[in-house]
Structure 1
Amino acid sequence: MPLSFWTSGRIPLCGAVWLAMASFAIPAPALAEPARQDQQAEFDIYVEKAMAKWGVPGVAIGLLQDGKIVRVKGYGVKKFGEAERVDGDTLFAIASLTKAFTAAAIATLSDEERLSFDDPVIKYLPDLKLYDSKVTAEVTIRDLLAQRTCLQSKDLLTWDSPFSREETRRRLQYLPPACSFRDRFVYNNINYVLAGDASAAAAGSSWQALIKNRLLVPLDMNNSATSSAEAARARNLASPHIKTGGKLRLLPLYDEGISAPAGAIHSTAADMARWVELLLGGGAYLGKTIWSPTAHAAMLGEQMAVRPGPRDAGEPPTPIAAAYGFGWGVGEYRGRRFVEHTGQSDGMYAMVAMMPNDRLGIVVLTNSSMVGLPEALAYHWLDDQLGVPEFDWIGTLYARAKESNDAIDIDNVTRDVLRKAGTKPSLPATGYAGVYRQDLLGDVTVITAKNGEMSIRFLTKTGRLKHWQDDMFQIDWGGDPYYTMTSSFVTFQIGVDKQPISLKIGGDEETFVRSGSARIRPKH
């Protein structure tokens, strides 16, 4: 049973300069009637209890009642071991919550008839090549936003990738489908990379400028950033954390590269509360119409059906997914219409949840990759607004999230990998050296130093190789969490002539053929 509809992001389960701007008066969020003091105090206690349970250093929250912001508050610290506190203007990565911004920018272009949701993508990206020429010609903007292309998810192609946008689009012809075109929902960051690129082409600007000019500026989201490079210049910035060996470890801000439209935005609880006020307002904010009711209905409507698993007897009343909209999961919670999405990056996890018909919304931003805490806070607060009996969301979701959170502890990567004792490699270290190639992901280079130490270069990273068993080697990526969790081992296939034929890397066992052999496509 999922904790929420879409536990999504870079870690597997995974514009302008926004400085402090002290010379600018940032408008305060418009507030509805505040919650009772006893409700606020109770919720503060609940948040701190959840933070202690999960061991999350910092949290920022925005609450909306009757479609208006009633509270924005920070809890804990920006960086573990330091005293600087989180507040409502502290910047966090929102990761896949960026997708809804990309969809909204496209909606504004649709309103101006500069683009249609049903336009073919090749109208704006004529160099796009998918696995099938018919699919290439037919795939639309709507298909991308609704996650119904059935393209395989392949984040290695876009996250921290050495390839340009144009080169990536060329390489997509080698990405096999996960199913037949439009057959079912398959969550994929590549869809939003393409959607963002198409919208930028239609607007005649960069994606970053499109997001800034059409969304961030009109909403007074003055502390938000459209890249990690911008975010890094902010004074009020939360630091990312991941657990290794059960202990918190600081991470650098991840570089989103060409995947920006799928997950690059950094924002604050105050700014995100404005965003949710716009959404609860049907596309209008403080008297300004940002997008039309027609576009709003498309974004938060049921665009692609989702096939949820059956709910077992005795399971907690978590939301039931029905469909994916444009950057949103759509379903029901406690018998009411429910819209939500999560976002996970290296060291941060965020959630927005809304009950549009009840005009309720909540934003939860955290500086830890661990899942479950935002969901527990959101469901608890919504339950309180609905007046339903209290449920132990902290205890329940902490237990259910344990397996997922243990999986993103990089000290656990080798825990379940079998290892035969007493084996040796088939070849001397120099025998494995060479270039191994694949049409989709490019080259993997294995290097042997004079002292016999082996290393591997893959995409933008270089790691050291240490023998594991037979012709299998463990890769030390220097603590990089994404590469450690997705590509921890490499296995060489040795031919009858005692020469390497190919290697397989990562949990997906991506195959790369040694240079001089026939190049291959990834396996279906």
Structure 2
Amino acid sequence: MLSDLGDFDDYIEAQVHEWNAPGIGVCIVKDEKVIFTRGYGYRDYANRLPFLSSTLFPIASNTKLFTAIAAGILVEKGVLTFDQPIRDVVPSLRFYDKSLDAAVTLRDMLGHRTGVPRYDMILHRAEFSKKELFDRIRFMKPIAPFRSKLIYNNMMYEAVGHIIELLSGKSWDQFVRDEVLSPVGMPQTAFTIADMLAHPNHAVPFTERRDSEALWQTPYPELNWSSPAGSIVSSLDDMSRWLAVLINNGVMAGKKVIPEQILQATLAPGLAFPDPLGDVLGFEPEINSIYGMGRQTSSYRGHLLASHGGDLRAFHSQVSYLPSEKLGVVVFVIGDHCSMLRNAVGYNVYDRLLGLGESSSMDALREFHLKAKQNMRESRERVRPSAIPDTRPSHDLADYVGRYEHPAYGQLHISLNDFQLQFRFRQTKLPLHHYHYDRFDTDDDEAEGAWSMSFLTSPLGDIDRVSLWLDATDAVFVRIPDAPAPGVLKQLTGTYQAAFGARCAIKLRRDNQLMLHFPEAPAEVLTPLKGLQFRNPKWPQRTFEFVMENGRVAALRHWNSVAEFVLTRVENADSADTMEHEEPIAD
């Protein structure tokens, strides 16, 4: 069969040259035998270090099948099920609403069938633990009816990884190593970019400049934690064994290392996997793509194909095989501009070894890439400012400074340096330029991209929110006020009385949250505004300010748009009105 590859070696060398690819690795497996392994170009373009079969490489979303199989092992052990509501077993998992809580199964999470969008920016340079990511699932609002369409979602895999930890008592990576990697025999495979960099033989991220063909070394992907959605790093040597196990339904050298029923479950058809390039290219190399769990099936020129891709900045992988022919290919590609080679190289292998006659897919993909790059270059050159001229920010720049928080994405920071606002979101730090009104933009940085944000005001006129377009949705971050110290808050508690006799009590919860209690009325939360000013988030036009006289709290001013009341602090009031106990924290 090796002879059937013909001039494949020369062909791939030519593609490396034509696509300006920094490096490519290819492995071909037939039955249980590795019939071809070779690296082309360089694993480190700057230092001209060769791409070897032992070179460690981030496989990105090809991690997902490892996670799906790990979850399947718990199903086989009777700890989980694929098709019962996942909250029956893991009640701490909460979705956006009760209908999802009652319906979502493990199969839905692994098959991208929840209707919840990607929310990938939650993972962007993430500083969250797996539990923190798990807890953020409840803030992810669906955009499609449940099980109506496939919407790829990395966060669901992060959640499944935490579920594996909760139910197995092991970390996700340790469970995968013990239950999958060790039985298969994958000693080089690791779980983080940091693990990869600790190994002397690793791939280095290079890609073309967006407006030229010059290659530059990009930052490494910020995946320094073990991610069930996409952090595994491996080599062609290890992935050839993985591919052989998949091809042979869990058997390696006559020994069953993964139960066949688990592998078959991951192949069971779920929802259609859309191919947005089909209409653009004018042809579809694969048709009828259906996602299972951690991989998909499709038809390639009349042959059943099982596959999954993986993409991180500058690193791209493809693991595919033909179940009936027991023939598979692993492809590693360095370079975003040549990422399409991860699919096209595999297609070429199948064309050759099945005697299908070489297709024109490689030429079509190359032509598409060149046109797309040229179009983007021209579009950037043609861009014209659309800002409304002669506008100013509504506030002094210092008023925009602060911390802002989104329940799912976490915090972003706005600071002021030499009369220019600075934007920081995790490790992304860029200067902000006034665009118009209360909109500020960053430059279009080649590594960090372009960011645009609009600041919003409360009914009282203060800057209290900032809106960013993230993950194809408008994400609003709410300003975190500088709260008084707990000791100061304690001084504010007590009973206050209006001139006409009505009383209220100010109490302090265990979480240092002030509560306002009027008789016969629901308690109100008071959130800090500035200084000793507070407001109720449900009625932001209502403001409360504690008045200090001679170092003591003397009164509480309460006003809205039509009236202002002053409530005088009552000294030595009945303990029933003052806070002599802690208010319980509501769930």
What RMSD over aligned residues (CA atoms) do the two structures have, in Å? Answer: 3.0
Structure 1 equivalent of residue 545 of structure 2: none
Structure 1 equivalent of residue 81 of structure 2: 116
Aligned counterparts, 1:227-266, within 5 A: 227-244=192-209, 245-246=211-212, 247-256=214-223, 260-266=227-233
Cα distance in 2 between the residues matched to 1:279 and 1:63: 13
Structure 2 equivalent of residue 129 of structure 1: 94
**Could you say if the C-alpha distance between residues 437 and 227 of structure 1 is closer, same or farther in structure 2, counting changes exceeding 3 Å?**
closer
SS of 2:155's equivalent? helix
Moved more, 45-54 or 339-348: 45-54
Kindly tell me the number of residue pairs found equivalent between the two proteins: 479
Q: Does 1:325 align with 2:296?
A: no
SS of 2:467's equivalent? strand
**Could you say if the C-alpha distance between residues 236 and 307 of structure 1 is closer, same or farther in structure 2, counting changes exceeding 3 Å?**
closer
- Gaps of at least 5 residues in structure 2 are 481-528, 530-534, 539-587
Cα distance in 2 between the residues matched to 1:179 and 1:452: 44
Q: Is the 1:90–1:268 contact (alpha carbons within 8 Å) kept by the matching residues of 2?
A: yes
- Choose which of 163, 171, 179 in structure 2 pairs with 1:206: 171
Q: Does 1:429 align with 2:392?
A: no
Q: Is the 2:281–2:364 contact (alpha carbons within 8 Å) kept by the matching residues of 1?
A: no
Structure 1 equivalent of residue 325 of structure 2: 358
Cα distance in 1 between the residues matched to 2:121 and 2:537: 19
Deviation at 1:232, TM superposition (A): 1.2
Structure 1 equivalent of residue 495 of structure 2: none
**Could you say if the C-alpha distance between residues 257 and 385 of structure 1 is closer, same or farther in structure 2, counting changes exceeding 3 Å?**
same
Aligned counterparts, 1:497-512, within 5 A: 499-506=462-469, 508=472, 509-512=474-477
Deviation at 1:468, TM superposition (A): 3.7
Deviation at 1:203, TM superposition (A): 2.0
Cα distance in 2 between the residues matched to 1:236 and 1:397: 31
Cα distance in 1 between the residues matched to 2:468 and 2:55: 38
Structure 2 equivalent of residue 39 of structure 1: 5
SS of 1:396's equivalent? helix
Deviation at 1:304, TM superposition (A): 2.7
Cα distance in 2 between the residues matched to 1:116 and 1:274: 28
Cα distance in 2 between the residues matched to 1:294 and 1:496: 59
Structure with more of its chain in strand, by fraction: 2
**Could you say if the C-alpha distance between residues 178 and 271 of structure 1 is closer, same or farther in structure 2, counting changes exceeding 3 Å?**
same
**Could you say if the C-alpha distance between residues 377 and 190 of structure 1 is closer, same or farther in structure 2, counting changes exceeding 3 Å?**
same
Cα distance in 2 between the residues matched to 1:150 and 1:260: 22
Q: Deviations over 1:393-449 (max 9, x none)?
A: 32211122446667999x987975744485453244223223333332233321113
Amino acid of the residue matched to residue 155 of structure 2?
Answer: I
Structure 2 equivalent of residue 467 of structure 1: 434
**Could you say if the C-alpha distance between residues 228 and 494 of structure 1 is closer, same or farther in structure 2, counting changes exceeding 3 Å?**
same
**Could you say if the C-alpha distance between residues 416 and 185 of structure 1 is closer, same or farther in structure 2, counting changes exceeding 3 Å?**
farther
Moved more, 503-512 or 72-81: 503-512
**Could you say if the C-alpha distance between residues 404 and 340 of structure 1 is closer, same or farther in structure 2, counting changes exceeding 3 Å?**
farther
Cα distance in 1 between the residues matched to 2:280 and 2:136: 46
Structure 2 equivalent of residue 388 of structure 1: 356
Cα distance in 2 between the residues matched to 1:98 and 1:194: 14
Q: Is the 1:308–1:321 contact (alpha carbons within 8 Å) kept by the matching residues of 2?
A: no
- Aligned identity (percent) is 26
Deviation at 1:472, TM superposition (A): 2.9
Q: Deviations over 1:225-269 (max 9, x none)?
A: 111121111111010123333332213332325670000001111
Moved more, 218-227 or 131-140: 131-140
Deviation at 1:52, TM superposition (A): 1.8
- Gaps of at least 5 residues in structure 1 are 1-33
Structure 2 equivalent of residue 84 of structure 1: 49
Deviation at 1:133, TM superposition (A): 2.2
Cα distance in 2 between the residues matched to 1:180 and 1:478: 36
**Could you say if the C-alpha distance between residues 234 and 240 of structure 1 is closer, same or farther in structure 2, counting changes exceeding 3 Å?**
same
Cα distance in 2 between the residues matched to 1:57 and 1:300: 33
Q: Is the 1:171–1:439 contact (alpha carbons within 8 Å) kept by the matching residues of 2?
A: yes
Q: Deviations over 1:172-219 (max 9, x none)?
A: 222110212222211110111111221222222111111111222222
Q: Is the 1:150–1:186 contact (alpha carbons within 8 Å) kept by the matching residues of 2?
A: yes
Deviation at 1:337, TM superposition (A): 0.8
**Could you say if the C-alpha distance between residues 229 and 121 of structure 1 is closer, same or farther in structure 2, counting changes exceeding 3 Å?**
farther
Cα distance in 1 between the residues matched to 2:384 and 2:247: 47
Q: Is the 1:185–1:305 contact (alpha carbons within 8 Å) kept by the matching residues of 2?
A: yes
Q: Does 1:348 align with 2:311?
A: no
Aligned counterparts, 1:263-282, within 5 A: 263-282=230-249
SS of 1:64's equivalent? strand
Cα distance in 1 between the residues matched to 2:192 and 2:343: 26
**Could you say if the C-alpha distance between residues 281 and 93 of structure 1 is closer, same or farther in structure 2, counting changes exceeding 3 Å?**
same
Q: Is the 2:133–2:158 contact (alpha carbons within 8 Å) kept by the matching residues of 1?
A: no
Deviation at 1:271, TM superposition (A): 1.2
- Choose which of 315, 326, 336 in structure 2 pairs with 1:369: 336
Amino acid of the residue matched to residue 174 of structure 2?
Answer: A
Structure 2 equivalent of residue 64 of structure 1: 29
Q: Does 1:492 align with 2:455?
A: yes
**Could you say if the C-alpha distance between residues 233 and 187 of structure 1 is closer, same or farther in structure 2, counting changes exceeding 3 Å?**
same
Cα distance in 1 between the residues matched to 2:310 and 2:199: 21
Deviation at 1:310, TM superposition (A): 11
Amino acid of the residue matched to residue 165 of structure 2?
Answer: A
Cα distance in 2 between the residues matched to 1:287 and 1:408: 52
**Could you say if the C-alpha distance between residues 495 and 314 of structure 1 is closer, same or farther in structure 2, counting changes exceeding 3 Å?**
closer
Q: Is the 1:239–1:252 contact (alpha carbons within 8 Å) kept by the matching residues of 2?
A: no
Q: Is the 1:67–1:360 contact (alpha carbons within 8 Å) kept by the matching residues of 2?
A: no
Structure 2 equivalent of residue 397 of structure 1: 365
Amino acid of the residue matched to residue 394 of structure 1?
Answer: M
Amino acid of the residue matched to residue 240 of structure 2?
Answer: A
**Could you say if the C-alpha distance between residues 310 and 462 of structure 1 is closer, same or farther in structure 2, counting changes exceeding 3 Å?**
closer
Cα distance in 2 between the residues matched to 1:405 and 1:124: 48
SS of 1:105's equivalent? helix
**Could you say if the C-alpha distance between residues 160 and 45 of structure 1 is closer, same or farther in structure 2, counting changes exceeding 3 Å?**
same
